[in-house]
Structure 1
Amino acid sequence: MNHVPVAYPGENTPVLDGVREILRPAVAFYLDLHRHPELSGEERRTAARLGEWLTEAGYEVTGEVGGHGVVGVLRNGDGPRVLIRAELDALPVAEQTGLPYASEGPAMHACGHDLHLAAAAGAASLLARARDRWRGTVVIVGQPAEETLAGARAMLADGLYERFDRPDAVLAQHSAPLPGGMVAHGYGPMLAGSVGFEAVIHGRGGHAGTPQLAVDPVVTAAAAVLRLQSVVSRESAPTEPATLNVGSFHSGSGGNLIPDRATLGITVRAMSERALDRMAASVERIVRAECAASGCPRDPEITVVSRSPVTHPDPGATELVREAHLRLYGRERVALWPPAMASEDFPLYGDAGVSVHGMAGIPLAYWMFGAVGPRTWARTPGSAEDKLAALPPNHSPEFAPDVRTALPAGITAMTAAALCWLKGGAGPVD
């Protein structure tokens, strides 16, 4: 990684003391985002709200980068350039939390992007208010379309690093079902890479009373769904983390007819690019073989609709940020994070995106921070593992971060991480 002066923030640094002043507006910002979620590619209001916050904090703001992406730049003398990334978009999930500030529409912030964005905004304000404590440049990126794994690629393709310069480090965090106030770091792969497919199977429509005159794509697609389950159980080593999910199956409009097509939505996930490539080839082979076995009149149309690399943060950057968090929170609040099969497009901001922006060697730091309130954690029965299994996970309609404990930690964790790179940061220079 790049060798730059490193500052470890201590528990009582003046920079972090400012969190008391910005916490109330940051909570209001979070509640507003939660009430008004926007789907991937539709984040106009969310982007505008972030832009307003950053402008008021003193950042130079540019909108519509790679879609509705927002970039805020705060220059504060010579020094490293640190990029903080958070996401704008929500999920097509109807909220069932019962919260007084719940979304009333068909979308919901069921993955914590509203929390990430409020934490990044709070960190941006803390850093802006304490410019006498550090030197360098802070870049805040509000990324669109993370849920469709398209936003990072779009922002990079729109010249993110050419227009706003190459960063010395890129930071991001994600909410997790841990007690609020905790953070967790991983060494090695943290999140899986993924490939998403849309497979259109072409049959020959007809009357349900004369099936012999038709080629039923429903039967073909159903056979493919069952056969695809063998990709992990029979084509992957038992020690190799991998998943395959058929998340959507669409066909037909009535029980008295045979449709002429069926469409499957398929996702594979693995902890290595080699495994992803192998599983992707298996998906295509199986779908084509089932179509051939059914005598489909046309070959299937198999399209890769998304691809994300494995999230593998830089070991050196991880150690720097973890040490800062240990000094800030103490060992009892800093955990280790095991590899998980969720996926992100965040790796594209580093070496994984070299094919997009033509630059390598940008260290990434990525960690988890807790979102479960103390009462919820305490009343959930069982061990820590039992609690994690019982609590509503990300993407659940019941996902409800405890903003009182999660947001302050999210703000201070991100601020402390940024200060690890910024010259003249609060605390002794290593």
Structure 2
Amino acid sequence: MNQFLENARAMKEELIKYRREIHQNPEVGDHLPQTTKYVMEKLKEFGYEPKEICESGIVALAGKPDAKKTFLLRADMDALPIKEETDYPFKATNGNMHACGHDMHTTMLLGAAKLLKQYENELEGSVKLVFQPNEEGFKGAKLMLKSGVLENPKVDAAMALHVHSGTPTNTVLYGLGTAIAGCTIFRITVKGVGCHGAMPETGVDPINIAAHIYTSIHEIIAREISATESVVITIGKFQAGSTHNVIPDQAILEGTIRYLNVDLGDFIYKRMEKIVTSTAEMFRGEAKIEIVASVPPLTNDKDLANQLSSYVSDVVGKQSVISFEGGGMGSEDFASYCYEVPTVYFLLGAGTKEEDPHYGLPMHHPQVVFNEDILPTGAAMHAYTAMMWLKAHQ
């Protein structure tokens, strides 16, 4: 174990270089040509034969391809459409930003790939390395699954990790059971009849309709859901009109429903459908709601979580690994994997404000900064956990 950690730490400057090159060139969504090319080239340098099984979806295999057991490690590669405001000399300038740490995740898995090549003769099975697009849009994991990421060879268990801003450096958190909320991204389109602001009676005001819809859907949480249930409805976009004295003909609302129980999420959406259509009709307009994207709640397999956490303890120390029960209301599209195979999702502490005033801002903040000291830790966690799980399951 000591030698393994030394090898991981010896890569630190190399990993920092990878991370900064990826950070400086962030790409959003399904189409990540620069990032994909970069990752493919590095994997080939390490001795892999990576394949792109879908657009910007990369798979590489370490170990024995004809092995009885296969363990999957996944990293997400996409960024966010956020203008970076850090004081990094390598900050992005293209209007996008790795504000959720996916550049860190991609780098850690590249580090794990290099470590696994060094220890390939000791692997008692195969490790499938997965680099995925569009986690932020909740479409990447589903695209990878549809493209056969769990087959050839068949995957038996899977793991992913996410940097966690505000948690002490190299502290690892993991949930037992349902740990992260499901999320439904929705769009409500309200149609009215545009008219001059001086004569509202000649039109149908979609802003008025949208305002009533906005207020009414929040009553679902207040009056139709038990106070003991964890659910959140958020409207993050309310768009209508282009000038001060004209009533427009359309208004758009976009938001999310977050839930830890799938049935409850379905119930909320159906109630919203009814509220949207009936409210619009009541005020002489029309409206519809549609799902833009969705992801189910993420559930860690308890037995697998306890097993993998023991391997993680070897890497960071037992005192730095903390389990919890109950779920947070953020969402993560790795959840889609957990309905197909046993999975575990770890959170790796990326620094607090007490360690450095730059650390500790929330993910998706334009000034968020992560401690690069955790890059070797993440690489070691990935590689060592996969090796040990395979050893225990032959």
Answer whether TM exceeds 0.5 for this pair: yes
Counterpart of 1:116 in structure 2 is: 105
Specify the SS of the correspondent of 2:161. strand
Specify the SS of the correspondent of 2:187. strand
Specify the SS of the correspondent of 2:178. coil
CA contact (8 A) 2:11 2:376 kept: no
Counterpart of 1:341 in structure 2 is: 329
- In the alignment, is residue 402 of structure 1 matched against residue 371 of structure 2? yes
Structure 1, unmatched stretches of 5+, are: 1-10, 352-359, 381-386
Alpha-carbon offset, residue 256 of structure 1:
1.9
Counterpart of 2:300 in structure 1 is: 313
> What is the alpha-carbon distance in structure 2 between the residues aligned to residue 238 and residue 71 of structure 1?
43
CA contact (8 A) 2:193 2:205 kept: yes
Specify the SS of the correspondent of 1:420. helix
Counterpart of 2:381 in structure 1 is: 413
Aligned pair count reads 391
Q: 1:173 aligns with which of 134, 144, 161?
A: 161
Q: 2:348 aligns with which of 359, 364, 369?
A: 369
Specify the SS of the correspondent of 2:128. strand
> What is the alpha-carbon distance in structure 1 between the residues aligned to residue 338 and residue 351 of structure 2?
30
CA contact (8 A) 1:58 1:128 kept: yes
Structure 2, unmatched stretches of 5+, are: none
> What is the alpha-carbon distance in structure 2 between the residues aligned to residue 336 and residue 138 of structure 1?
25
Counterpart of 1:261 in structure 2 is: 250
Counterpart of 1:422 in structure 2 is: 390
Counterpart of 2:139 in structure 1 is: 150
* Paired residues for 1:29-48 under 5 Å: 29-48=18-37
Specify the SS of the correspondent of 2:294. strand
> What is the alpha-carbon distance in structure 1 between the residues aligned to residue 27 and residue 86 of structure 2?
18
Deviations 1:383-424 (A, max 9, x none): xxxx9xx931111112110112x2122112212221232238
> What is the alpha-carbon distance in structure 2 between the residues aligned to residue 134 and residue 15 of structure 1?
14
Counterpart of 2:59 in structure 1 is: 71
> What is the alpha-carbon distance in structure 1 between the residues aligned to residue 93 and residue 137 of structure 2?
22
> What is the alpha-carbon distance in structure 2 between the residues aligned to residue 407 and residue 248 of structure 1?
35
> What is the alpha-carbon distance in structure 2 between the residues aligned to residue 106 and residue 225 of structure 1?
30
Alpha-carbon offset, residue 198 of structure 1:
1.0
CA contact (8 A) 2:63 2:123 kept: no
* Paired residues for 1:259-338 under 5 Å: 259-296=248-285, 299-337=286-324
> What is the alpha-carbon distance in structure 1 between the residues aligned to residue 240 and residue 55 of structure 2?
32
CA contact (8 A) 1:79 1:422 kept: no
Deviations 1:10-43 (A, max 9, x none): x42x333311332222111100111111011231
Q: 1:215 aligns with which of 204, 209, 234?
A: 204
- In the alignment, is residue 200 of structure 1 matched against residue 200 of structure 2? no
Alpha-carbon offset, residue 79 of structure 1:
4.3
Specify the SS of the correspondent of 2:236. strand
- In the alignment, is residue 232 of structure 1 matched against residue 221 of structure 2? yes
> What is the alpha-carbon distance in structure 1 between the residues aligned to residue 342 and residue 21 of structure 2?
33
4+ runs of 1 displaced by more than 4 Å?
none
Specify the SS of the correspondent of 1:312. strand
> What is the alpha-carbon distance in structure 1 between the residues aligned to residue 93 and residue 117 of structure 2?
34
TM-score by length of structure 2 reads 0.94
C-alpha change, 1:391 and 1:228, in structure 2 (3 Å) is: farther
TM-score by length of structure 1 reads 0.86
Q: 1:252 aligns with which of 230, 236, 241?
A: 241
Moved more, 334-343 or 268-277: 334-343
Counterpart of 1:8 in structure 2 is: none
> What is the alpha-carbon distance in structure 2 between the residues aligned to residue 346 and residue 123 of structure 1?
19
Identity within the alignment, %: 30
Alpha-carbon offset, residue 154 of structure 1:
1.1
Counterpart of 1:392 in structure 2 is: 361
